[in-house]
């Protein structure tokens, strides 16, 4: 429990704490194959993002600030403190990756390491947006539209949205067992949470971009080590060669960046749990180096 509502999480294992954050349209259940692999060496906390899954929905605020990555990061830092973890590493996929790097920027004394899975900074996404983004990653623009249009669309056919994501974003549908798909559909069927999710996308298109821009213009950078992993089949692998790819982009934002592509489509953590867990574990054990 935090001052801004309850954060639902699973906790297990033993050792240095790590916080696992999911993306859209998933919940903390996305880590079901990875968390047990990490729990032998780390205390693993897999949380539903505020406004997602079984976590409480923040109260609406002006400019969608309540679902900004800054606000979500602050809530999760408070939740980790309530669990007894003053410092910890964060691993985030998709939307969770955006919350993860914001936490590393805003709470450098709390975040010891950060891994961002299949994302680049939100500011960079919008500055470089083109037809490829609009067609391939439709949630960025569709879910950021004013209420209530995207909410009504999601609630009218949650199964269709889940099926599209799990089968059309580069990952094989068979990687998602029926119980998991059903859990994701259920999570996308609640009106309050669907509204919060859309508010999070609206925040990404506005206030998050401005917060990122301010950091970039003032030279504020992530001080802890950063691992970037991305799908070898997706847009991140092909769209940003002019900037040196995902690693080139992240080096504008962080002092110590390393990473590589992973097979398995956008949801590679679920398709390749062993490889993903191995990369995360090796990164967290590697200390502060400057490997390319």
The residues annotated as belonging to the active site are 94, 266
Going from the C-alpha of 64 to that of each of 11, 40, 96, 137, 201, the distances in angstroms are 30, 39, 17, 21, 9
Length of the chain: 292
Contacts of residue 268, defined as CB under 8 A and 6 or more positions apart, other chains included, come to 117, 118, 171, 229, 231, 262, 275, 276
Best CA proximity match to 51, nearest among 154, 178, 148, 190: 190
DSSP labels, 41-100: TSEEEEEPPTTSTTSPPPPP-GGGGGGSHHHHHHHHHHHHHHTT-SSEEEEEETHHHHHH
Residue that has been written with the tokens 């099926």 in this structure: 163
């Amino acid at each position: 429990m935090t001052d801004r509502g309850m954060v639902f999480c699973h906790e297990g294992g033993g050792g240095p704490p790590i916080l696992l954050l999911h993306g859209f349209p998933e919940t903390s259940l996305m880590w079901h194959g990875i968390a047990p692999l990490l729990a032998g060496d780390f205390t693993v906390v897999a949380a539903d993002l505020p406004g997602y899954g079984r976590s409480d929905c923040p109260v609406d605020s002006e400019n969608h600030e309540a679902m900004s990555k800054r606000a979500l990061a602050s809530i999760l830092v408070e939740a980790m403190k309530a669990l007894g973890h003053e410092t910890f590493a964060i691993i985030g996929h998709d939307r969770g990756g955006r919350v993860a790097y914001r936490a590393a920027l805003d709470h450098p004394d709390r975040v010891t390491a950060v891994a961002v899975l299949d994302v680049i900074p939100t500011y960079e996404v919008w500055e470089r947006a083109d037809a490829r983004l609009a067609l391939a990653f439709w949630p960025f623009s569709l879910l950021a539209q004013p209420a209530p249009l995207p909410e009504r669309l999601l609630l009218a056919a949650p199964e269709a949205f889940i099926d599209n994501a799990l089968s059309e974003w580069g990952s094989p549908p068979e990687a998602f067992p029926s119980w998991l798909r059903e859990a994701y559909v259920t999570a996308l069927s609640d009106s309050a949470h669907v509204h919060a999710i859309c508010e999070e996308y609206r925040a990404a298109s506005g206030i998050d971009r401005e917060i990122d821009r301010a950091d970039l213009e003032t030279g504020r950078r992530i001080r802890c080590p950063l691992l970037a992993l991305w799908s070898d089949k997706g847009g991140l692998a092909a769209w940003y060669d002019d900037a040196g790819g995902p690693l080139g982009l992240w080096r504008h934002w962080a002092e110590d960046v390393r990473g590589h592509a992973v097979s398995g489509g956008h949801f590679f953590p679920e398709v390749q749990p062993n490889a993903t867990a191995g990369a995360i574990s090796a990164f967290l054990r590697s200390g502060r180096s400057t490997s390319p």
